[in-house]
Amino acid sequence: MPNPYYLRSILSLILGGFASCCVLSAPPSAQEATDYATHFNRGQELLRQMRFHESNAEFREAARLNPQYLPAQQALAVTYALNQNFVMSWKQVRLLRQSHVDVPKEFLQQLSASLSEAEAVKQLEDIEKNLAASQQAAADHPDNAALQAALGTALGKAGDYSASQHAAESALVLDPTQPEAHLLLGRMLGPEPPNSEQAIPHIKLYLQHVARIPETAKDVSQAYWMLGDLYRHSGRDQQALQSYEEGLKTSPDEASVLNNAAWIYATSQDASLRNPQKALAYARKAVELSKGEKATVLDTLAEALYANGLFEEAVASEQKAIALDPQSEPYPDQLKKFQAAQRQAQQSRP
């Protein structure tokens, strides 16, 4: 799921000036001008509501009606990134460069941190091939729920979220237990606060019906992670921990699950759930697995060290997190908290 501070910085780009360029050429008719402008404005309003997939669909339609309208093309780059579809975001960036449009450096830095441009180009070819094959298979077998769900997944990777959702819903009409369709809808709804509660039953049904085989292990682990995050963000720490622990049974070396579980064990307001020793063990393992290169994981480790009274190490870990992500809002306050605890501990020594 997207980091909320990452989302905030990207949203500020699109709502605060990233899409403030002019139209290159006039549309062929007054009606079309009204139509594409309406879709663009509606997309911006949906962005403000943090309904990212729906906003993307509006920007896609605005761009379809007037491909020369660069604000819509810029907005697509942003909404793809917000939806964690970094391949399609890079595709939009490359299109903008061809139109000699400068893309904000901050946006490119955050995009590159998630996926390199070279890797995006490689993945795009596979995405387009898989989409063509999935479309053909679904057309040949319209009553096959699994093929309709696979088409939905392929459409989602290609950035057509409206068609992706329709394909997933069609699959569930054919088979209400179809796991891939439930996972797809859970992934689409989960990161959007207005819709996130709707994702929970879809993820649960996926976990209930998916075949537990090596080929699905990664998706199963991610589903537990998503479910845990949905519970955590709504204050249901016990259910979140249960989800994370189930996920670790499937993939014990999943750094994101270890990290999020460690945070709850270290910080939960429910004293019965706090377990500083377990928090520290999980956080250390998450840092090791991520090679100490993720600021959020180092921040969690610092919090776990703090919960165990290891204030000097907590300060050092938080300083590393700040060095990796100096723009993050909470890290300086975290550092001050750890430094204050360190000073107090030093003053109380005989």
pLDDT for 237 beyond 90: yes
pLDDT, tens only, 90-118: 999 999 998 888 888 888 888 898 899 99
CB-side exposure of 284: number of CA atoms within 13 Å? 10
pLDDT for 159 beyond 80: yes
pLDDT score at 349: 72
pLDDT average, residue stretch 324-347? 92
Between 19 and 105, the higher pLDDT residue? 105
pLDDT average, residue stretch 262-282? 97
For the chain, give the percent of residues with pLDDT over 90.
73
pLDDT score at 348: 81
Where along the chain do its domains lie? 4-115, 121-210
pLDDT for 183 beyond 70: yes
**pLDDT confidence band for 16 (50 / 70 / 90):** low
Between 106 and 53, the higher pLDDT residue? 53
Query: Is there a common fold for 4-115 and 121-210?
Result: yes
| pTM recorded for the entire structure | 0.85
pLDDT score at 2: 41
pLDDT score at 21: 46
pLDDT score at 181: 98
User: Mean pLDDT across the chain, nearest whole number?
Assistant: 90
The Cα–Cα gap between 237 and 306 comes to 20
Which CATH number describes the domain made up of 121-210? 1.25.40.10
pLDDT score at 3: 46
pLDDT average, residue stretch 59-87? 91
pLDDT score at 70: 86
Which CATH number describes the domain made up of 4-115? 1.25.40
pLDDT score at 1: 40
